Amino acid sequence: MKKFICISILAIFIYSFTFHYGYQRTIYAENQTIEVVLDGIDAKPLAKKIGEFNYEDNSIEMWHFSGKYWKYKNLIIYDKDLDNLLRSSESLEKAINEEIAFEIPIEQNLYNKIQKLKNIKIMCSSNLKNKYFENIPIVDLFYDRPVIELKDAKLHFKARPKLHFYKNETITFQDIIGDILNVHIPIVDPDYGCNLYAIWGRYGTSLGATASYFDKSDPFAWAPPDTFLIAPAQIKNGDGHLHDGFTFKTGDILRKSEDCSVGYGTFRDGGAVGIIFRYPLKFTFYSEDYPIDLSAQFETLPSSVAEGDPVQVCVTVKSDLEIDLENVPFKWEITRSNGTPVYGVKYSGNGTSKEGTVNIPKETQQAVFYADFIMPDSDIKIKFSINADGTSPIEEFLENNSIDSGESVKVVHAIHYEGKFDLDYNVLSRDISFPLINGDEIRAELNLPRGQWVGNATGGLNIDNSLATLYNNFSTSSTSVNTNREVIILKPIINATLKRSDFGDNPLTKKYINLDNPYEPLTKTAKLTFDGSVTRNYRYSYEKPTIDEFGNPIVKTISETASTSASFPSGSDVREIRVFTYNGRETMPPVSSRNFKTTVESSGLKRNLFWVSDPYKFDVIRWMCHIDAANNPYNWTKVDGQYQRTFTQQNTATVTWSVKNSMASLYNYDRENARKMNYGKEYYLNAVFASDRTLQKYDWPIRSGYYFNPLGEYTCTVTTVQFKDTPNSTDEHRELVEKLKNSFHYTSNMLYTSDGKNYQTLDLHNGNDKIFGMDMLDITTNYSKKETKLEYYQDSADADKTHQYFKEILEGYRESNTEDSRTNFKYREYIKQGNIYKVEETTIITFRVAPQKNQKLYTYINMKDGEYLINARIDSFTLNNYAYKGLTVSGLPSIDSITVNVKGTLYDDQNAVIH
Model confidence at 74, pLDDT cuts 50, 70, 90, reads confident
Residue 10 pLDDT > 60: no
Cβ count within 10 A of residue 800? 11
Lowest model confidence (mean pLDDT) among 316-325, 419-428, 638-647, 730-739: 316-325
pLDDT tens figures, 97-110: 778 889 999 999 88
Residue 528 pLDDT > 50: yes
Model confidence at 410, pLDDT cuts 50, 70, 90, reads confident
- Separation of first and last alpha carbons in the chain: 158
| Residue 367 φ/ψ, nearest 5 degrees | -130, 145
- What pLDDT does residue 19 have? 34
- What pLDDT does residue 5 have? 34
- What pLDDT does residue 519 have? 97
| Residue 883 φ/ψ, nearest 5 degrees | -65, -25
- What pLDDT does residue 549 have? 64
Beta bridge partners of 349: 369
pLDDT tens figures, 215-234: 999 999 999 999 999 999 99
Percent of all residues in the chain with a pLDDT value above 70, rounded to a whole number = 94
Q: Is the CB of residue 704 less than 8 Å from the CB of residue 863?
A: yes
Q: CA–CA separation, 263 vs 209, rounded Å?
A: 10
Model confidence at 864, pLDDT cuts 50, 70, 90, reads very high
Model confidence at 550, pLDDT cuts 50, 70, 90, reads low
Cβ count within 10 A of residue 44? 18
Residue 399 pLDDT > 90: no
Nearest to 733 by CA among 912, 881, 896: 881
Q: Is the CB of residue 854 less than 8 Å from the CB of residue 775?
A: no
DSSP run (H or E) holding 807: helix 804-807
- What pLDDT does residue 721 have? 98
611 or 541, greater pLDDT: 611
Radius of gyration for the chain, computed over Cα atoms and rounded to the nearest angstrom: 66
- What pLDDT does residue 3 have? 37
pLDDT tens figures, 162-207: 899 998 888 999 999 999 999 889 999 999 999 999 999 988 899 9
Residue 390 pLDDT > 60: yes
Concatenated DSSP letters of 525-580: EEEEEEEEEEEEEEEEEEEEEEE-TTS-EEEEEEEEEEEEEEEEEEEEEEEEEEE-
pLDDT tens figures, 680-734: 888 999 999 999 889 999 999 999 999 999 999 999 999 999 999 999 999 999 9
Beta bridge partners of 627: 430, 633
4 or 664, greater pLDDT: 664
Q: What residues have CB less than 8 Å from 244, skipping those under 6 apart? A: 257, 258
Model confidence at 2, pLDDT cuts 50, 70, 90, reads very low
Across the chain, mean pLDDT equals 90
Question: Stretch 45-74: mean pLDDT, rounded?
Answer: 86
- What pLDDT does residue 814 have? 95
pLDDT tens figures, 605-654: 999 999 999 999 999 999 999 999 999 999 999 999 999 999 999 999 99
- What pLDDT does residue 18 have? 31
Q: What residues have CB less than 8 Å from 661, skipping those under 6 apart? A: 711, 712, 713
Q: Is the CB of residue 894 less than 8 Å from the CB of residue 674?
A: no
Q: CA–CA separation, 224 vs 226, rounded Å?
A: 6
Residue 132: what residue type? Answer: Y
Q: Is the CB of residue 754 less than 8 Å from the CB of residue 861?
A: no
Lowest model confidence (mean pLDDT) among 81-85, 381-385, 623-627, 705-709: 81-85
| Residue 338 φ/ψ, nearest 5 degrees | -90, 5
Exposure string over 663-684, b if 16+ CB within 10 A, otherwise e: bbebbeebbebbeeeeeeeebb
The domains of the chain, with CATH numbers, are 291-412 (2.60.40.10), 415-579 (no CATH), 654-787+841-908 (no CATH)
Beta bridge partners of 786: 840
Eight-state DSSP code of residue 230:
B
Model confidence at 465, pLDDT cuts 50, 70, 90, reads very high
- What pLDDT does residue 464 have? 96
Concatenated DSSP letters of 850-889: -PPTT---EEPTTPPSEEEEEEEEE--EE--SSTTTT-EE
DSSP, collapsed to helix, strand or coil, labels residue 772 as: coil
Q: Is the CB of residue 540 less than 8 Å from the CB of residue 559?
A: yes
pLDDT tens figures, 824-839: 999 999 999 999 999 9
Q: CA–CA separation, 456 vs 596, rounded Å?
A: 84
- What pLDDT does residue 100 have? 84
| Residue 311 φ/ψ, nearest 5 degrees | -120, 135
pLDDT tens figures, 162-172: 899 998 888 99
pLDDT tens figures, 570-595: 999 999 999 999 999 999 999 999 99
* Helix runs in 323-413, H state only: none
Q: What residues have CB less than 8 Å from 915, skipping those under 6 apart? A: none
| Residue 675 φ/ψ, nearest 5 degrees | -65, -30
Size (the chain), residues: 915
- What pLDDT does residue 803 have? 96
Model confidence at 319, pLDDT cuts 50, 70, 90, reads confident
pTM score of the predicted model: 0.58
